[in-house]
Amino acid sequence: MRLRTSSLRALLSLTALLLCAAGLASPRQVHLTILHTNDTHGRLLPFSYPEVFDANSDLARLAHRRNIGGIARRAAIATVVRSEPGRQTLLVDAGDICDGTPFSTEFKGEADVAAMNAAGYDLACPGNHELNNTVAQLRKLVSAARYPTICANLVENGTGKPFLRRYVIRQVGPVRVAFFGLLTTDAGKYPAAREGLTVTSPVEAAKRLAPALRKQADLVVALTHIGIDEDRALARRVPDVDVIVGGHSHTLLPQPLLVPQPSRRQGSVRGTIIAQNFQWGGTLGRLDLTLSKGPTGHWSIQRYAGRLLPVTSSTRPDPAVARVVDRWWRPIASKYGRVVGTALGDFARKGQDRAEYNLMCDAMRATTGADFHMENLGGVRSPLARGPITYADLVTMDPFSNTLVRFKATGAWIARTLAKHRPAVSGIRYAVDGTRLVRAEVGGEPLDENRVYTGSTNSYYARTLLEGVEEKVDTGQGRLAALMAYVESRRHLRPSYDGRRVVLNLGREEE
């Protein structure tokens, strides 16, 4: 009898093991890893940051700054993570895959999508720079992607119908995970939106959708391109969201943030997790979630951990992805690899000096012959490292198709504009304390509020800057072409760190 009982117990144990191995017995825990990128801006190839950087900047917090990134390397790291036993892994992107390098200039996002297909991306939401294309090109990118592109707050004018799928639900083992996308309202100013799309409030869209998804899924994840401040607001106002994987603000989060949610059940993570992966794919975000099944059958996040994985030259690139990138790079390599000048130092940020902006402003003023030139911060997209300057480097600084606008303005207008907008400049030296202009010079002379000066700016900034200014004309001269001509004519350029723009007591400056 004891023998038969022992044999029965052994048989039952063996049966249970076989059922578990066959996936017929439900596990009590699921390990889900979300690998994430955002704001890669066309960086399909490795890149380097300048050696000059501000000690208080995000660059100072990076462990690696030279020869980093590249989508073939990121794909290789993702493959290693996917192979970890007992883990379910998804690779997602939170927007702005294009506008930043020759790949985007030439191929309007198509090279980026092709490389992401090869890398095995599972999901993406659009960024505002995807909308820098036409609607037709945006549709082409979405159609070419082998992964769903989701957005809950981008609708067609007139019909109000969603332009993209609002959400997808993925089965991760026994767990149902709902992903929905959100786009910044900033995208409403971009070409595709002006053709007939509306970007509604991301928080209001989430408030309507997240509770419905909660009824269909165990876990609700927002894939957002709205920026870290909006992500925090989303977490506070929409408690049904468990995880936010974000972009747009280029925020470096070495570990995820947790926005408390006291209403969450005991035994689970009592908050909304926010992750973001800085910019350009120099790292690969990793968010590990451990989900447990409660007595009611509900799955919830019990533990989480996150970090940014360095993407360095020590990683051997994925051969298949590297071949795809090379196929798009070869036809344009001779054009963009051409050396047009030499940087005798790093054009980067040092304190309040921004040498890359000073270079752009000086080049544009030299082209237009104006008394002064103004540029919006954020309009120069990359610093310039010491050494040979290629055409690709200049396109990376200016990946847009903006033209130069000349105008006339009084000194009083200049004074108001400097205090309000605090632009990058050439031909002007100024200091602002709070919102008060402390001093200003034009051409080395004190600003005369009654004098009429000639100015210039780029066509994008002109829409905001020159509202109400009557005497203005778009020259049709391309900003990038002007920068190229300036660099080629001088050949050897030394960065200017000259204190021409001083901003005091404004806290963190908006970029």
Give 399's DSSP letter: -
Is the pLDDT at 20 greater than 60? The verdict is: no
Residue 212, C-beta contacts closer than 8 angstroms, at least 6 positions apart: none
Length of the chain: 511
pLDDT grade for 442, boundaries at 50, 70 and 90: very high
Please provide the CATH number assigned to the domain covering 27-329: 3.60.21.10
Q: Which one has a higher pLDDT value, 336 or 298?
A: 336
Q: Which fold has domain 339-504?
A: 5'-nucleotidase;  domain 2 (3.90.780)
Cα(73)–Cα(284) distance, integer angstroms: 10
pLDDT reported for residue 267: 59
Whether the pLDDT of residue 410 is over 80: the answer is yes
**Is residue 15 predicted with pLDDT exceeding 50?**
no
Q: Where are the alpha helices (DSSP H) in 171-227?
A: 191-194, 202-216
The residue ranges of every structural domain in the chain are 27-329, 339-504
Give Cα separations from 489 to 312, 395, 486 (angstroms): 36, 17, 5
Record the pTM.
0.88
- The predicted-structure confidence for 146-163, as pLDDT tens digits, reads as follows 999 999 999 999 899 999
pLDDT tier for residue 376 given thresholds of 50, 70 and 90 = very high
State the burial class of residue 79 (Cβ atoms within 10 Å of its Cβ: 0-12, 13-18, 19+). middle
Q: According to the model, what pLDDT value does residue 263 have?
A: 78
Q: Could you report the per-residue pLDDT of 226-252, keeping only the tens digit for each?
A: 999 999 999 999 999 999 999 999 999
Q: What is the DSSP string of 220-259?
A: EEEEEES-HHHHHHHHHH-TT--EEEE-SS--B-SS-EEE
Do residues 318 and 80 touch, judged by C-beta distance below 8 A? no
Q: Could you read off the pLDDT of 92-149 as tens digits, one per residue? A: 999 999 999 999 999 999 999 999 999 999 999 999 999 999 999 999 999 999 999 9
Residue 170 pairs in a beta bridge with 177
For the chain, give the mean pLDDT.
92
Tokens 């090109």 belong to residue: 137
